[in-house]
Amino acid sequence: MTLVEVRNAQKRFRNTRALDGVDLTLRSGEILGIAGPNGAGKSTLTRVLSGEENLDSGEILVDGEVLSELHISELVAVVHQEPQVWLNLTVAQNLVVGNEDTKFRLPTISIEQSKVLERIGIAHLAGTPLAECSLAVRQRVEIARALVRDSRVLLFDEPNSALTDDESQALFQFMHELADTGHVVALVTHRLAELVEHCNRVIVIRDGRVATELTGELLTETAIAEELVAGQQHEAKSREAASSFLSEQEPVVATHEWSDAQGAFLDISLEVAPGEIVVIVGVEGSGGREIVAALGGMRPSHGEIQVREISSGSGQHTKIAYLSADRREMLFHNMTVADNLVSRLGSPLIANQFGWLRRRNIRVEASSLVERYSVRTDGVEQMLTSLSGGNQQKVAIAAAMASNPSLLLVEEPTRGVDVGSKRDIYQMLREYADDGRAVVAFCTEAPEAFELADRVMVIQRGVCRDILRPGDYPDIQSFASALAKLELINVTVHSSHKSAVLDAPIIPNERKDPA
Amino acid sequence: MAPITGEQPGTRKRGLALDQLRTAGLVLAIILSGLVFQSQTSSFFSSENLLTLLRSMSSLGIMAFAQMLVILLGEIDLSVGAIYGLAATTVAVLWLGGGALPFHVPLVIALIAAFLVAIAIGAANAFLTSVVKIPSFIATLGFLSLAQGSELLLSNASTFNPAYNTPLPSSGELRFFHLLGGSQLPFGIPIQVGWLAAMLGFFWVLRHRTLFGFRLVAIGGNSTAAEIGRLPIRRYKFVVFILSAVMAALAGILDFSYVGSVGPNSGGSLVFPVIAAVVIGGASLNGGWGTIPGTLLGAALLAVLANGLALLGVGAFAQLLFVGFVTIGAVTLDRVTRQLANKRASRVAQ
């Protein structure tokens, strides 16, 4: 019997409170579900629970004893979305690393360790290099490592986002087994259906606090969905007028039977009119993210795609600008706010025809962008790193908008951003679309899609499952439950095709492909 | 997540303040070591010695400016020393005959050929780095060996001296060749100091006043963001690697002209001080950070040490020890200050 208690946990990163007084109890024998919107503090909580991150204040007790981070990390193991294992070693060697039990001799796998491999069903792959194994096998290796180290607490962080249905089912079955054998098991996921199906208890984290705890009869998808979106105010929107004129104009981007070269999505037909924001919604691995990246030219694709350039007014014009989900991938931390804002521009805006930099133009242009998009800064000549996360995000989006793309592509526009900045960012994107440009965004959260979109395209396993118009729904709750229902259908339909899950190592696609 | 409002004074203009601190520290180090040498030899601060010092840092400085741009991009060019030697030898062999070639050509053509060789090597370095995507450390290490080997094969490892060559080149050509690197400007300033000043101006403008320099900082700071923002990464890499190779060739030819002769493997020991000067000058090998004034100061510090130690009569071997200590010391100091500044900034933010 193990009992983990978190008391008044507080954690702050530079400008944001990630955890703002979390109280939480985990017991062995049950599966605890952890849900929450992006940026609510879920991942910080996981890192704190696993000892990867220190708390600013508050404590973690295991069986009534206060433990240091070091002890916690021995006791708690995380199973990541992307397993943290060694691809250059075999399955067996992966188990041995760090648990060698030898000083000079070449370490080999012990009897207990091979028993663990047998228990989780990958003993026949012991000698296979992990690079040749499927993601599911890699994940099991990570679980096996936790078991070998005798971890009593296992945190599953979005564990099945990239697994097939059969692999997911097997994983959940194993999670139940772990709980039954006295382990503490926690599951962090976005998928409401799975939380309801597999968890005994679900907590919803919002703004760094535990907003609610749901058990028994109260634990339903609708209840979780409502809790996820509660506390976010919404203003009445006037998009009725917009949607009527939309269809009459020639689309900015039109695709027809358009597919990803690596099979992430298939036969997508999408038209986006000037002034329209289309949000693509899908869970991780659904192909939604890849659609946006491929539209941005960051992934190879085939099929029909046409992008029309809208030129209006003066200044620089580009066809397409793309923003990835990861802020670190979009910004230059070695440069000032001003330099970041103009980083996508060129001659004649920030340099003359000989390439001579126009410093004054940069300052003027940057200042006007800062003002227009209400970036909070003490001056454009500050380093980018002095801004809060939300304001850095605004800088990234403003920098893309500065190049006047006809089609603006954004992945998760408000990931890891505070509520105030979120609203600013929605407004930025709306105003940009209202200028007669097209915006396509990928979102994982129902409230964001509701807030932002004229149309929502729901992607599942690489195909368009449905198109929703947020304008057809009276409020966010009904929209969120409509989305959740779409997901529910998916979950109940899935077991139609059975295949052997872990019979042979699956060689990744890129290896098979001679090109 | 709840935002925390209000100013964070510790993070304000952090990069700029650090840069200024570093520049001040370097200037101080140069002056201090100058004073130490002056107190020991009393000839260090003579105008004659200072001109000698400036001349001696000319080829180091010219190569370091271009190397700084390479490092700013997050790459490195280890082949510069070998290109330095190969360029000088190419001029010598083509112009004077001898070596492995049965013919010789006018000086101007030999000079053009040497620069074309350098451009080819620079382009090959960039091709391997940006198209084939080999790490530049390996690609340029390979060309270090290739260039050195070509130099030795071309020259048969012999020494060339235009003034005592048979057949003797025309006096016009000899005079022109001497003019390049061995002559003097008004006030007794060596012409190599003029070259250094010209290249300083050129690279300063390029790095600090043009769109090119602006984008180099961006590409070096975050190549993924640069790709997403559609900056011309590949083209910039070609330009920068070619510049680095051409500057190495220029330095090699100028030194050949100044010394009056060139022997086998003349630039072999240059790659370390060139990179050291850039790094002492505050550039980050991860890319994204680096200035021309900093690089100039880095080269100057190394030149002051070499010059002063020579005045003191410390042998060349002991000088190597000093250069090693100074390089490691300067970078360690920089690292420690940076960490302290970061720590202070995050404490203030809390």
Cβ-Cβ contacts under 8 Å for B238 (sequence gap 6 or more): B122, B123, B126, B127, B130
Task: Return the biggest CA–CA distance within chain B.
Answer: 83
Mark yes or no for CB contact A343/B229 under 8 Å.
Answer: yes
Mark yes or no for CB contact A207/B2 under 8 Å.
Answer: yes
Q: Is there a shared CATH topology between the A3-229 domain and the A240-474 domain?
A: yes
Q: Which of A87, A86, A96, A88 is nearest to A117 (CA)?
A: A96
ipTM field: 0.80
Distance to chain A for B226, nearest Cα, Å: 8
CATH 3.40.50.300 fits domain A240-474: yes
How far is it, in rounded angstroms, from Cα B292 to Cα B296?
Answer: 6
Q: Is the pLDDT of residue A232 over 60?
A: no
The beta-carbon neighbor of A334 closest among B11, B228, B288 is B288
The beta-carbon neighbor of A355 closest among B3, B15, B210 is B210
Which contacts (CB < 8 Å, 24+ apart) does range A423-429 have? A424/A373, A424/A374, A424/A390, A424/A394, A425/A390, A425/A393, A425/A394, A425/A397, A426/A451, A426/A452, A428/A373, A428/A394, A428/A397, A428/A398, A428/A401, A429/A277, A429/A397
How far is it, in rounded angstroms, from Cα B253 to Cα B275?
Answer: 20
Mark yes or no for CB contact B225/A17 under 8 Å.
Answer: no
| pLDDT grade for B334, boundaries at 50, 70 and 90 | confident
Q: Is the pLDDT of residue A419 over 80?
A: no
Instruction: Give the torsion sign (CA, A82, A87, A92, A98).
Output: negative
User: Chain B within 8 Å of A245 (Cβ-Cβ)?
Assistant: no
Mark yes or no for CB contact A331/B222 under 8 Å.
Answer: yes
What is the value of pTM for the model shown? 0.79
Residues 357-396 of A with CB under 8 A from B: 357, 378, 381-383, 385-386, 388, 390
Mark yes or no for CB contact B228/A298 under 8 Å.
Answer: yes
Chain B residue numbers touching A347 (CB-CB < 8 A): 211
A133: helix, strand or coil: coil
Q: What is the pLDDT of residues B235-278, one digit of tens each?
A: 999 999 999 999 999 999 999 999 999 998 888 889 999 999 99
* B97 alpha-carbon distance from chain centroid: 30
Q: Which of A308-312, B21-25, B65-69 has the lowest mean pLDDT?
A: A308-312
Mark yes or no for CB contact B224/A329 under 8 Å.
Answer: yes
| pLDDT grade for A240, boundaries at 50, 70 and 90 | very low
Where residue B140 falls (left for φ over 0; alpha for ψ -120 to 50; beta otherwise) is alpha
Mark yes or no for CB contact B221/A332 under 8 Å.
Answer: yes
Mutation to test the A interface, candidates B20, B206, B228, most A Cβ within 10 Å = B228
Give me the half-sphere count of Cα atoms (radius 13 Å) on the Cβ side of residue A220: 7
Cβ contacts from A onto B, under 8 A: 124
Which contacts (CB < 8 Å, 24+ apart) does range B91-94 have? B91/B253, B91/B256, B92/B155, B92/B160, B92/B162, B92/B256, B92/B262, B93/B154, B93/B155, B93/B160
Q: Is the pLDDT of residue B13 over 80?
A: no
How far is it, in rounded angstroms, from Cα B179 to Cα B162?
Answer: 13
How far is it, in rounded angstroms, from Cα B31 to Cα B43?
Answer: 15
Chain B residue numbers touching A293 (CB-CB < 8 A): none
Mutation to test the A interface, candidates B1, B211, B214, B346, most A Cβ within 10 Å = B1
How far is it, in rounded angstroms, from Cα A227 to Cα A480?
Answer: 11
Mark yes or no for CB contact A355/B1 under 8 Å.
Answer: no
Q: Is the pLDDT of residue A81 over 80?
A: no
Between CA B276 and CA B284, with CA B280 as vertex, the angle to 5 degrees is 90
Question: Is A373 in contact with A424 (CB distance < 8 Å)?
Answer: yes
Q: Write out the H or E segment, with its range, that includes residue A26.
A: strand A16-27
Q: Write out the H or E segment, with its range, that includes residue B109.
A: helix B107-126
Residue of A nearest to B13 (CA): A382
Mark yes or no for CB contact A14/B3 under 8 Å.
Answer: no
Token pair in block for residue A402: 């500065």
Domain ranges of chain B: 44-335
User: Chain B within 8 Å of A421 (Cβ-Cβ)?
Assistant: yes
Look over chain A and give the mean of its residue pLDDT values, rounded to a whole number: 82
Mark yes or no for CB contact A350/B217 under 8 Å.
Answer: no
Where does A3-229 sit in CATH, by number?
3.40.50.300
Q: Which of A95, A93, A88, A163 is nearest to A131 (CA)?
A: A88
Domain ranges of chain A: 3-229, 240-474
Q: Is the pLDDT of residue A490 over 60?
A: no
Which CATH number fits the domain B44-335, given the four candidates 1.25.40, 1.10.3470, 3.40.50, 1.10.150? Answer: 1.10.3470
Q: What is the pLDDT of residues A110-119, one digit of tens each?
A: 888 888 898 8
Q: What is the pLDDT of residues B299-333, one digit of tens each?
A: 999 999 999 998 888 888 888 888 889 889 888 88
Question: Is B276 in contact with B298 (CB distance < 8 Å)?
Answer: yes
Chain B residue numbers touching A421 (CB-CB < 8 A): 3
How far is it, in rounded angstroms, from Cα B71 to Cα B164?
Answer: 41
Mark yes or no for CB contact A16/B222 under 8 Å.
Answer: no
Q: Which of A22-26, A98-102, A136-140, B101-105 has the lowest mean pLDDT?
A: A98-102
Chain A residue numbers touching B231 (CB-CB < 8 A): 343-344
User: Chain A within 8 Å of B224 (Cβ-Cβ)?
Assistant: yes
